Structure 1
Amino acid sequence: MRVLFAAHQFFPEHYAGVEVVTLGLARELRARGHETFVLAAKRSIPGNDIEPGETEDYEFEGVPVRRVGRPKEGPSRPYRLDYENEVMAARAREYMREVRPDIVHAEHFQGLSAAVIPAFKEFGVPLVYTATDFWAMCPVVDFRRHDGAMCRGPELAHCVRCIASRHTGTRMKAIADRTPAAAIRLAGALSSTPLAALSHQLRQIGALRERPDYIRERMRLVDRIIVYTRLMRELLLANGIGEGKIVVSPYGIDTSRIAGLPPGDSEPPPLRVGFIGTLAPHKGCDILIRAFRMLPREMQAELKIYGNLERFKPFVRHLRRLAAGDRRISFPGPFRREEVGRVLSGLDVLVVPSRWYENQPGVILEAFAARMPVVATDLGGMSEFVRHEENGLLFGLDDPADLARQLRRLYEEPGLLRRLREGIGPVKTVEEDAAGLEALYESLLSGRERVV
């Protein structure tokens, strides 16, 4: 069969969780005799050499890819383009005509917008959507509010402030901070009146107000929704998405670079602690550094922080200031995918200190594949994989003191690290994941007439 994957971004510039999963499935399905393709958005920013709506074609590791330039970014960009972009829909139709897939599997709609959903369905093929994060419900994706509270669904006044909070130091954020919630809700009501034609701000608020209903309606066209966690299923249903269509199925990972590692059997001292991920505030690396610096100086431990040091430079500078003067903390930076085995073999425990729900961090599965315990924030998503006292430890949200206590336990309690290693079960592989998807695709295809 011919399978078209859709994603918000793709290799080579972008190589986080969604991209890794998409590439892994596309390659594995090719190995199983199918034809796979990728349609992805690409940010139209200086250095990316692509204009909004422009396309570029290339192959990555044997998979044909078409990328389409996203709208220019900035406060003046019409917010509606976040979820309703007819240019992206037109490009999706063009690629559908060229590729003629039997099935479309969307791993993410950000950048492409939900307008591509009816465009895909015009061709009479099944459409599968994997809710890799909370974009369908949250305009800033992470479901963590501007005030630090965990969110459960869109509310206009909070959504306005959440978007503004991503633009620190701007006039937009200053205005949003000073505007009462009642005034924002009033602006939302006025945005549906003729006054909106006279005000860019009202049009922006109106577009944000209409976002949930627009996405919810398009999502009704999706044939099957795959979620990695029970938490995601619960949140989608609570927000009116996916009734009767949701399948809970964690994704599989490529274990080929990890499987050959010698089994971890080292015991502290020293305790070798690691962080692997995006060095952005919502990932909580600052919590880990604060916790690590609470450990007694006589405790033999080291912390290695792996991640791109250039993408979120202000936050990286903040992390370096937090770590200043502590020689036990180092910043090796990013590493190539083929080096994951080497990196993991140099650690005893991985810490995932995220401030948001985290749908299914691939790094947790990679650590488990290497028989390495994980210490994670006690939040839905992560806590479905990291089971306290069985294959890892959990600590309270935004609580470096609690994290420090858990790290001390690994150092001070004899046999704890070994017991947690023994509690790690088998990890789902990309081969197993692809086989399950293959069966899903075939069941969907058998229930329709082929459209020529």
Structure 2
Amino acid sequence: MSRTVIVSHSHPNLRYGGGEVAAYRQFEHLLSLGQDVYFVGSTIGPEDSAKFFGASQQIVSFGPRDFCLRGRGMDSFTMEHAEILDEDWIFEFLLALKGDIYHFHHFWNIGAGTIRRLRAALPDAKFICTLHELTAICANHGQMVKRSGELCYASSEVACAACVVRAPIDFVLRKTRMLEMLDLFDHLLSPSEFLRLRFEDWGVAEGRIAVIENGLDHVGHFRPETEAELLAKSGRFAFFGQATPTKGLDVLIRAAALIEARDDEFDIPLSIEIHGVDKDSFSRMWPDLEIPSSIHFRGRYRPQDCVDIMRGYGWIIIPSVWWENSPVVIQEARAAGTPMIASDIGGMAEKTEGWGLQFRVADPAALASAILSVHGDVKVLADHKSRISAPLDLAGFWEEWKTATGLDQGKKQTRRIRA
């Protein structure tokens, strides 16, 4: 049996982000199938490391096959560790696991140098990378959003130098190094067509990236709902996410304020509930924004409860202002059978097409209009719910993963050495 090592830039026991959750779900599913599999995550950087690690502790073990490494931060421009000693021990740890397959769900906190050395040490192993976002293309946190807040539609050495203040030649060299690193992988995967196309436009060869949606550990079981149930839900909207500038929570609050300023009378009360954020956290980030009466902060929730919570709403709102790739909240909404109102860019537009509503990104007035267009409308809600298909489950992901990586052919493949 082949040994698979799944490597992520973080660990969901410490930080619940989409990439690490997708990686860990894959690990748990393979473990349940009796596969020989290990999970290796990392902490985000020095601040998180200080919370969870002792002074000289390098590794936390959550089980005999489940590890989290101590991350010390990296140079986000080069994707390299500042200290070679940090790269040395991460490389040695991954090498010691003796994997036949290494599936990287990111390279942040792991390091481009670590990947190069591991590839050289294990020429017959299969290397796979899932591209969860645009870090290889964009040095501004991988979000392709300019420092001014404008969306960036394509990278270039001159435009990037104006955004991240460095010489244009630095971006020429960075792109060369990132493409060389990606070429070390036998297979590149993307959870969305949007991301695949972005990487191909940037320079990855057409056909190198296979698109497989991240697997969800449970899918929805829809039951018929009465008109009274639908009517009650038609006035209930919700946001699930974090209080970060790119998640667009301020756009939602401004949209709610615009609706309140209209002073309309509703037969069905309007309620917008915020999950994952408390009022104090929001106010610290946006101290000048008044909170409309329709907004209710619900604070943190357990991830495993998310789908059940979503079932109680008519609509889930995802107002992110950057190019989201394949947000887990969209899959969870599909599993809940709850339609979405989403920003009209990136993976959000792709993943909600046909069953959700879309509004112009970062435009509170457009979001307010979208909310009002469906509020209290049972017929529209029922119609959009009927269009929702269940997301890809982990069993389906496993089958697609084996096909895309050639592992369903029943024999060990020889790695093709690239020039």
Q: TM class, shorter-chain normalised?
A: 0.7 to 0.9
Q: C-alpha displacement at 1:152, in angstroms?
A: 3.6
1:131 corresponds in structure 2 to: 131
Q: Secondary structure at the match of 1:48?
A: helix
1:26 partnered with 2:30:
no
1:366 partnered with 2:296:
no
2:47 corresponds in structure 1 to: 45
Q: C-alpha displacement at 1:35, in angstroms?
A: 2.0
2:200 corresponds in structure 1 to: 237
The amino acid that maps onto 1:303 is I
The CA distance in 2 between the partners of 1:54 and 1:133, in whole Å, is: 30
Q: Secondary structure at the match of 1:332?
A: strand
1:381 partnered with 2:347:
yes
The CA distance in 2 between the partners of 1:367 and 1:113, in whole Å, is: 34
Q: C-alpha displacement at 1:50, in angstroms?
A: 4.7
Give % identity. 22
2:66 corresponds in structure 1 to: 64
The CA distance in 2 between the partners of 1:161 and 1:281, in whole Å, is: 21
Q: Secondary structure at the match of 1:82?
A: coil
The CA distance in 2 between the partners of 1:234 and 1:53, in whole Å, is: 43
TM-score norm. by structure 2 comes to: 0.86
Q: Equivalent of 1:228, from 171, 174, 191?
A: 191
1:112 corresponds in structure 2 to: 110
The CA distance in 2 between the partners of 1:336 and 1:261, in whole Å, is: 24
1:391 corresponds in structure 2 to: 355
Q: Equivalent of 1:330, from 285, 296, 312?
A: 296
1:442 partnered with 2:407:
yes
Q: Secondary structure at the match of 2:112?
A: coil
Aligned pairs, number: 399
Q: C-alpha displacement at 1:33, in angstroms?
A: 1.5
Contact kept in structure 2, 1:117 and 1:222, CA below 8 Å: no
1:396/1:420 CA distance change after superposition, 3 Å: same
Which runs of 5 or more residues in structure 1 are unaligned?
Answer: 73-77, 164-175, 177-183, 190-205
Q: C-alpha displacement at 1:288, in angstroms?
A: 0.9
Contact kept in structure 2, 1:105 and 1:129, CA below 8 Å: yes
The amino acid that maps onto 1:332 is R
Q: Secondary structure at the match of 1:435?
A: helix
2:236 corresponds in structure 1 to: 272
The CA distance in 2 between the partners of 1:274 and 1:442, in whole Å, is: 40
Contact kept in structure 2, 1:269 and 1:411, CA below 8 Å: no
1:172 corresponds in structure 2 to: none
Contact kept in structure 1, 2:80 and 2:113, CA below 8 Å: yes
The amino acid that maps onto 2:351 is F
The amino acid that maps onto 2:276 is G
Q: C-alpha displacement at 1:419, in angstroms?
A: 0.4
Which runs of 5 or more residues in structure 2 are unaligned?
Answer: none
The CA distance in 1 between the partners of 2:81 and 2:176, in whole Å, is: 12
Q: Deviations over 1:258-297 (max 9, x none)?
A: 5488858522576111000121111101111111222244
Contact kept in structure 2, 1:56 and 1:68, CA below 8 Å: yes
Q: Secondary structure at the match of 2:407?
A: helix
Contact kept in structure 2, 1:104 and 1:127, CA below 8 Å: yes
2:323 corresponds in structure 1 to: 357
The CA distance in 2 between the partners of 1:245 and 1:160, in whole Å, is: 28
The amino acid that maps onto 1:127 is F
Q: Secondary structure at the match of 1:234?
A: helix
Q: Equivalent of 1:418, from 371, 382, 398?
A: 382
Structure 1 segments of 4 or more deviating over 3 A? 49-54, 78-89, 152-163, 258-265, 318-321
Q: Secondary structure at the match of 1:382?
A: helix
